[in-house]
Amino acid sequence: MTESTLAPITLPPYDWTTIAADLDREGWARLPRILHPVDCALIADLYDQQGPFRSHVHMARHGFGQGEYRYFAYPLPDPVQALRAALYGWLAPIANRWHERMDRTSRFPEDHAAFLGRCHAAGQRRPTPLLLQYGPNDYNCLHQDLYGEQVFPLQVAVLLSRPARDFTGGEFVLTEQRPRMQSRPIVVPLEQGDGVVFAVNQRPQRGTRGDYRVVMRHGVSKVHSGKRHTLGIIFHDAA
Ligand SMILES: O=C(O)CCC(=O)C(=O)O
Ligand SMILES: [Fe+2]
């Protein structure tokens, strides 16, 4: 199938007040049915084409886990570009509140193009949206997608495959590291087309004596059978 068969993407009418409250409380929130199953299949099918990508990473070679991913090249395929820009618009105010609560001085512009301008000026010019592919026994070690000093504190992953039908195992996992405490594990059940928005690294947590910072990481448990594809949307570009 060709890229041109991908229809324009608009976001479902989410309740962003509830999403913001979930993010504040838990550090993640579900974005149900952000992509239609047809678009999920079309985007996953891009994986085997050369054209849309700038690089190909075999995770085992870097100690990142087992499985592979490809970073999209600019210009991004329409639906990826549309999702990235639309999601940023809703997430930037939440990111700004988080920065304020964490006593960070920088604030994010309303518009994603303006934030990318800042990344590019800082030497972070390479696109970071990616397509991941996992087969049997593949997994993704806990990590943080940091690519330079410019960091947007939230990112989104969209499950493109059907759990139990296309693959088994392969759960999306988060950990939360609180000061002076052991890490807390979180499993996020996703259906095909569901997105999850989550903290890239630090986030503020409300405590009895004001806000403190917790550190989050994300990864994927071992895939037992089948093939699992994910679309990753990271808002900062890479050096
Ligand atoms: O495959 C997944 O669910 C996780 C992908 C990931 O690490 C990312 O989108 O940054
Ligand atoms: Fe990641």
Q: What is the pLDDT of residues 1-21, one digit of tens each?
A: 444 456 678 999 999 999 999
Mean pLDDT of the chain: 96
154 CB within 6 A, ligand 1: no
Length of the chain as a residue count: 239
Terminal alpha carbon distance of the chain: 32
pLDDT, position 5: 57
Q: What is the rounded average pLDDT of the residues 184-203?
A: 98
Question: Which positions ≥6 away from 196 have C-beta within 8 Å?
Answer: 28, 29, 30, 31, 156, 157, 172, 188, 190
- The domain locations on the chain are 15-233
Q: Does 223 contact ligand 1 (Cβ within 6 A)?
A: no
Does the Cβ of 232 fall within 6 Å of ligand 1? yes
Interface predicted TM-score (ipTM):
0.99
* Ligand with an atom nearest the CA of residue 235: 1
Average pLDDT for 156-168: 98
Q: How far is the CA of 126 from the centre of ligand 1 (A)?
A: 18
The whole-model pTM stands at 0.96
Cis omega (within 30 of 0) on the bond before 185?
A: no
- Asked which of 5-14, 81-90, 115-124 is least confident by mean pLDDT, the reply is 5-14
Residue 202 has pLDDT above 60, yes or no: yes
CATH number of 15-233: 2.60.120.620
- At 170, the pLDDT band (50, 70, 90 cuts) reads very high
Is the beta carbon of 220 within 6 A of some atom in ligand 1? yes
